[in-house]
Amino acid sequence: MTADENATIMRRAYEAFNSADINTLNELFDESMVWHLPGRSRFADDYQGREATLAYFGQLGQETGGTFRAQLQHLLADDEDRVVGIQRSTGERGGKHLDVVNCIVFELKDGRVTDGREHFHDLYAWDEFWA
């Protein structure tokens, strides 16, 4: 896949995530994908497989009453099947407001996401929001 094709795939994935379009995410995420979330929050883990990753995404929505959003700010792609999405993650939960900048390094194979690795500008703010 070319960089432009991979960028288009990831734009679709962001749109699907923010609209809770599980069918599209199932299409774009490889069954054996791995999602890596750093930190000390109860969500910090390596999620093995599409099902586990989508369950984690569902928890973000559930815990925030559907307010969690990953607002894509920049997307960088190469011809080596890597895409970096720079985003602003926001949400409301229990009187707390989340507003952090983070990026996700995605790896794709044959047009499907095989790996997602999150990195946060302020990991402490992310962890505190979920405490």
How does pLDDT run across 22-64, given as a tens digit for each residue?
999 999 999 999 999 999 999 999 999 999 999 999 999 999 9
- The pLDDT score that the predictor gives to residue 7 is 97
Tell me the CATH number for domain 3-130.
3.10.450.50
Q: What is the CA radius of gyration of the chain?
A: 14
Cα–Cα distance, 90 to 31 (Å, whole number) = 27
Edge-to-edge strand list for the sheet holding 112-120? 45-48, 29-37, 112-120, 96-109, 82-93, 69-77
Q: What is the pLDDT of residues 71-101, one digit of tens each?
A: 999 999 999 999 999 999 999 999 999 999 9
